Amino acid sequence: MSDSVADQVRAIIAEQAVLELEDVSLTSSLEDLGIDSLGLVESIFAIEEAFDISVPFNANDPSESDFDISSVGSIVEAVRQLVAEQKA
């Protein structure tokens, strides 16, 4: 079964990083993919629009936000959780 949340998040990040979808794996970090702080803020905006959710994220302290951005996989998990919470 295809994982649509993961596919959509990977597609958003791939577009931001100007990479092919297959180059974005769940274990990649944003840094590996060459996404800087502005790229991150844009990716989060795209995720909010795509899933119609609100992502708690403050660029002043990314590590302390509830939204874990340490890897593509962690973002996918965080999005899944937010979708479940906010669409419940």
Distance CA 86, CA 88 (A): 6
Residue 56: partners with Cβ closer than 8 Å, 6 or more residues away: 65, 66, 67
Buried b (16+ CB within 10 A) or exposed e, 61-85: ebeebebebebbbebbbbbeebeee
75 binds other proteins (CB under 8 A): no
Distance CA 85, CA 53 (A): 9
Q: Which one, 26 or 68, has the nearer CB to other proteins?
A: 68
Span of 15-23, 25-33, 34-42, 74-82 interacting with other proteins by CB under 8 A:
34-42
Q: Which one, 20 or 61, has the nearer CB to other proteins?
A: 61
- Residues within window 48-67 making contact with other proteins, judged by CB under 8 A: 54, 57-61
Q: Give the residue, chosen from 3, 31, 34, 45, that forms a contact with other proteins under the rule CB under 8 A.
A: 45
Name the site residues for other proteins (rule: CB under 8 A).
37-38, 41, 44-45, 54, 57-61
